[in-house]
A and B are shown apart, each in its own frame.
Chain A
Amino acid sequence: MTHLIVEDLWAEASGTEVLRGVTLEVKGGQVHAVMGPNGSGKSTLAHVLMGRPNYEVTRGSITLDGQNLAGMSTYERAQAGLFLGMQAPIEIPGVKLTDMLAASYQATGRDTEALMSDLLTEAELVELDASLLKRDVNGDLSGGEKKRSEAVQLAVLQPRVAVLDEVDSGLDVDALRSISKRIERATQEQVPARQSNGAQTPADGLAVLAITHYSRLFAELKPDIVSVLVMGRIVTSGGLELAHQIEANGFEQWDTPDEVGVGIRLGG
């Protein structure tokens, strides 16, 4: 069973305290949406989970199936099964998408032989033109194509937990639909865990932590849990109805620092 637990996570970015005790969890097959206004710490949360340099964790823990990720570097977290879908994927000049993924496969002892056919299959599923697979990483791609490419990478890398940072930003309805469908499917596919340390973990569906400002993502990707992040803390959690409430009323009701409650540990 895949189980990511974030407990009382405090973190600074460039000396400023951004996360102030985030507690949440997500299990294999679940979609946990984290919603929040601008500046609430959504992107910081995504980057801190992936271990980005220049973000300092000052307190708390991140564990994946009992393995503490907090002390690991980014590539080790990725090899442990974490994936970050970037909000604005950058171009890496001269580095082919296929070379990057082949290096990733090789680093975890996966055979690269099937990489190209896997990529072609996945590109078709999210309607990404196959010729774009031969390009540099995000080289001359439109915003929508970049997000489709992120989805293709997610699908072939088969992580256990996907942190999606504003996956819906800059996407038209069609792109959003096909990407969401693919992610939804991944939550149902029973994929055996792939771990660099050789540890055995039972097969499970993808766990998704979808970080977003708007609820439009949920038309296709139905969240099991919706949490609200304000001022660096989870102020409340609930089901899809919470997203509808935010859509109607916005985040104002939680928008004063004095009312920020403690992080809510979800049961289940």
Chain B
Amino acid sequence: MSLFTSQAATELPGPDWLKERRVLAVKSFLEVGMPTPEAEEWRYSPIADFSLDSWQPALTKPAATATETATSTATAATSEFLSEVVPDMVGLAVCLNGWLVYSWLSQEAEAAGVRFGLAQELPPMETNGDMFRLLTEAFAPEPLELVVPAGQVLDGVFVVAHDFTGSNTATFPWLTVNLGENSEAKVLDFTGLDIAGQEAPALVSDQQANPAPASASAVISTSTSDPDPVFTAPLVNLSVGKAARLKYLNFQNLPQQAWQIASQVAEVESQATLVSSTVALGGSYARQRTDTRLIGRGATGNIATLSFADNTQTIDFRTFHSHIAQDTSSQLLFKGAIDDEARSIYTGLIRVGAQARGTNAFQTNRNLKLSADAWAESVPNLEIENNDVVCSHASTVGPVEEEQMFYLESRGVPPDVAERLIVDGFFDEVLRKLSVPEAVPLARLALHEKLPYEFED
């Protein structure tokens, strides 16, 4: 018997308008029902294995003790981040099971009139056929918002950190980012940040110019001591006003037992720029669907995404990029490594509308197969309704090149080190393009945990 009922949704707190939306959302969800792998956007996915009945929504704020622990460690994490990983943090929101347990805003951001915390308004829901968005609309306990007023340029980073706890808990984080005309902001959104700060295996940082601080390994280490499976369906709405610049990065480092069905919906107005990135590392099945609409003339919407799946993980990207206005441009770069028996799915559709003359659109998906049993499906597509456009797409799936291994080994580099150098090299291009550079050392650290190797002293 499903616990995702209207009755359950009404138990969540919030203003009346939010409660009304929840009830309607449950109704819509029940009408439409669960997706099946027959639907094109769920093809290749293990969605048939998913049963909502085995999960329960997080209807109450996690118990006081857990919250206190989370809050105090979050505070500790705050100072760590402030001083080391994100020295220029301007705001922090920490959530446990989708409930806000800690928030902080810098004086600079406050003076700029920034709103960062519980949402006072939410955009209309556009499911685009993704029913899990309705589930999030119904069961997000405390939707968050970041609103930057027109003309305000924030140089620092807004950090959102989600952790999850409990057994068979389903969680529904919802973040809305709204940039006013000609404003600028950076957002670093962690999914599965281990804010309990567990002990991580000691790592010897390599010779990269920008190593992660030692404290990061404790925070960034994928949680293995908490085997309770969680399910999360995070929803992110990004709205970039005229001539505004938003850099958004989702750092997904869930435990390998977790299921994630994530959505990102973005709209970019004229002369505005959105650079969106995902670093996808965790999850048993971790899916992210992005729908980006370039609605104003001269809008830019770029994506740079990195993923590494190992063991029996499946990492799944579905991207829908719509060029609606003229002179819009997009550059999509998805690079992923797959090891062991892991699976990777990429399907990307670039639509160029009849009005979108002068479109520039480039879509690239490259997959590095590190094991013969790993599997990748890559399906880039173009749908063009206007002749005056420049579009291209490329996709590759292949192993580490034998001649590259041979070259490195002929210089005396042992095979495991050679492979790590080549994998690092493969990711170098996308690391340099990540929207929030503060995440790069963390991404490198997490990649090295996936390919463990320590240099001899």
Contact = CB atoms under 8 A, between A and B. Distances in A.
Interface of A: 50, 52-54, 73-75, 78-79, 83-84, 86, 89-90, 92-95, 98-104, 106-109, 136-137, 153, 157
A92 B407 CA distance: 9
A84 B410 contact: yes
A93 B412 contact: no
Given A73-B415, A79-B412, A103 B421 contact: yes
A206 to B, nearest CB: 16
Interface string B387-420: 0000000000000001110111111111101100
Nearest to A79: B412
Contacts of B424: 94-95
A75 B403 contact: no
B421 A93 contact: no
B207 interface: yes
A258 to B, nearest CB: 36
B411 A157 contact: yes
Nearest to B404: A92
Interface stretch (B32-40, B66-74, B350-358, B425-433): B425-433
B83 to A, nearest CB: 28
A83 B456 contact: no
22 contacts: A52-B406, A53-B402, A54-B402, A73-B415, A74-B406, A86-B407, A90-B404, A93-B426, A94-B425, A94-B429, A98-B207, A100-B413, A101-B411, A103-B408, A103-B417, A103-B418, A104-B412, A106-B455, A107-B414, A107-B456, A109-B456, A136-B425
A107 B456 CA distance: 7
B427 A94 contact: yes
A162 B450 CA distance: 36
B422 interface: yes
Interface of B: 206-207, 402-404, 406-415, 417-418, 421-422, 424-429, 455-456
Nearest to B208: A99
A78 B417 contact: no
Contacts of A99: 206-207, 421
Given A53-B402, A75-B414, A94-B429, 13 more contacts: A54-B402, A78-B411, A90-B407, A93-B426, A94-B427, A94-B428, A99-B421, A100-B413, A101-B411, A102-B207, A103-B418, A157-B411, A157-B412
Contacts of A94: 422, 424-429
Of the candidates A78, A79, A90, A94, the one having the most CB atoms from chain B within 10 angstroms of its own CB is A94
Contact of A100 (B402, B408, B426): B408
Nearest to A85: B410
Contacts of A136: 425
A83 B426 CA distance: 26
Nearest to B457: A106
